[in-house]
Chains A and B, each alone.
Chain A
């Protein structure tokens, strides 16, 4: 058919969750929009790739060697939240409740798939704990089996480092009826129940 169009479709197909049909839809949409809009998108991609680098401390995306979160002295530098991917850090940032810093692990342990401790940034985290001596490490993973394994592994790794190791509370999502909650979440919610302190 038309070479450049097919080439563009192929490029879109490489993106996650984009199949042939969606790729064609996106490509045709771009072709129908004003030229400037398409160039703007192309420029944004180029800009992001050229200007962004990885923060040397937390391994999140950054415009400088050290990202704004790590270089912000108003944040609690002694509290490191360990997350799997940059998008997790962005999600926590959106909540606006966390005032510490991050460490992007770049994955979770999955021994059966060959993802071992040396394939993710555990050594870098260990170095950080030794040099920065934080007071608290918050393990901020999702709820998969691999995330659970990684959390246990990290807790074990840092147990002698004189640092408080905590994890996100697990339990009932807001607005959900109890009858629809699965037994794992319910068990965890029961196990990790907290006191209600009246007046606080």
Chain B
């Protein structure tokens, strides 16, 4: 058995028996780990409460061939109150968590992805403009795809090779975009359209918050679905993202936009 101190982000909390809970954690050194925190819900426990989305320091007691490890000495680094108190932000955060839970392999170091997730959470915490929150989410998906090796190429048309400067179609299975001239009829579907202003936002390395183009509600949802579909296709995830459905329901209750479904 090895005893290790690490930091982690809590991706999910499942109550276990009366006073314990099972945590799904994402840490830089071990990737996805499952840990049991014993006695944290005891009335007399002086341990800190644990919730999804918290950034914590902890000690993990790792044992070979064990699915669930014991965790202790948990201290909260940041609990992101700005996300916790905002329904939209919580829903957006949960989509990234679901992506990690469904795609990352246990006990594999994920330092780069961890720092990207942490940065994403910090930005989500601070910002409040709705369009920017979604752009943060899309950029997270793009970086996730880059790290995982299937990042789409937005610089040029995959057929003719010319630099793309106008709205184009994302070809999910080909991992790139096609200009309007080259795009075959099957993919000439507005669901797969990447607007010119989004290409600009995704291409810039630093996000200029005062220069963000506006997207409509339906557009925000469509592009989010497109990003999720892209990752699901390349990661071979067949089930729908429950967190995305929740976000969609929130949207539908707010606006009267129609439900979009992008398959692959």
Q: Which residues of B contact A149 (CB under 8 A)?
A: 87, 90
Give min CB distance, A179 to chain B, whole Å.
10
B174, chain A: closest CB distance, angstroms? 31
Find residues 27-69 in chain A having any chain B CB closer than 8 Å to their own CB. none
* Contact A116 to B245, CB < 8 A, known contacts A148-B85, A184-B79: yes
Query: Do A111 and B245 form a contact, CB below 8 Å, given A145-B13, A148-B85, A183-B79?
Result: yes
B191 contacts partner chain A, Cβ-Cβ < 8 Å: no
Q: List 27 A-B contacts (CB under 8 A).
A: A109-B246, A111-B245, A112-B12, A112-B97, A112-B101, A113-B242, A114-B242, A116-B242, A116-B245, A143-B49, A145-B13, A145-B52, A145-B84, A148-B84, A152-B86, A153-B87, A153-B250, A156-B250, A156-B253, A157-B253, A180-B46, A182-B48, A183-B48, A184-B48, A184-B76, A184-B81, A187-B81
Residue from the set B81, B84, B90 with the largest chain A CB neighbour count within 10 Å: B90
Q: What's the nearest-Cβ distance from chain B to residue A147, in Å? A: 10
A182 to B79, CA, bound (A): 11
Task: Mark A residues whose CB is within 8 Å of B.
Answer: 17, 109, 111-114, 116-117, 143-145, 148-149, 152-153, 156-157, 180, 182-185, 187
Asked if A183 contacts B76 (CB within 8 A), the reply is yes
Q: What are the residues of chain B within 8 A of A183 when measuring CB–CB?
A: 48, 76, 79
Contact check: which of B18, B90, B97 meets A17 at CB < 8 Å?
Answer: B18
Q: Nearest-CB distance from A16 to chain B (Å)?
A: 8
Give chain A residues whose Cβ lies under 8 Å from the Cβ of B131: none
Which B residues lie within 8 Å of A153 (CB)? 87, 250
Extra 19 A-B pairs, beta carbons < 8 Å, given A111-B243, A145-B51, A148-B85: A17-B17, A17-B18, A111-B242, A111-B245, A112-B12, A113-B242, A114-B242, A117-B249, A145-B52, A145-B84, A149-B87, A152-B85, A180-B46, A183-B48, A183-B76, A184-B79, A184-B81, A185-B49, A187-B81
Which partner residue on chain B sits nearest A118 by CB separation?
B249
A17-B18, A116-B245 known; A111 and B91 CB under 8 Å? Answer: yes
Q: How far is the CA of A117 from the CA of B247 in the complex (A)?
A: 12
CA distance A196 to B48 in the complex (A): 29
List residues of B (84-108) whose CB comes within 8 Å of A's CBs.
84-87, 90-91, 94, 97-98, 101
Looking at the assembled complex, report how far the CB atom of A169 sits from the nearest CB atom of chain B, in whole angstroms.
15
Q: Return chain B residues, CB-CB under 8 Å to A180.
A: 46
B85 — which chain A residues lie within 8 A by C-beta?
A: 148, 152
Residues of B within 8 A of A184 (CB): 48-49, 76, 79, 81
Q: Which residue on chain A has the smallest CB distance to residue B13?
A: A145
What's the minimum C-beta distance from A105 to chain B, rounded to whole angstroms? Answer: 16
Say whether, besides A111-B245, A112-B94, A145 and B48 are in contact (CB < 8 Å). Answer: no
Q: How far is the CA of A157 from the CA of B90 in the complex (A)?
A: 16
Q: In chain B, what residue has the closest Cβ to A19?
A: B17
> Which A residues are in CB contact (< 8 Å) with B84?
145, 148
Q: Which of chain B's residues have a CB closer than 8 A to the CB of A113?
A: 242
List the B side residues contacting A117 at CB < 8 Å: 249
Q: Does B53 contact A (CB under 8 A)?
A: yes
CA distance A155 to B28 in the complex (A): 36
Is A152 in contact with B87, judged by CB distance below 8 angstroms? Answer: yes
Q: How far is the CB of B112 from chain A (nearest CB, A)?
A: 24
> Contact at B90–A112, with CB atoms within 8 Å?
no
Contacts of B51 in A (CB 8 A): 144-145
Residue in A closest to B24 when the chains form the complex, CB atoms: A112
**Alpha-carbon distance A111/B98, docked complex (angstroms):** 10
Interface pair A182/B94, CB less than 8 Å apart: no
B98 touches A112 (CB 8 A): yes
How distant is B99 from chain A, measured CB to nearest CB, in Å? 11
Residues of B within 8 A of A145 (CB): 13, 51-53, 84, 90
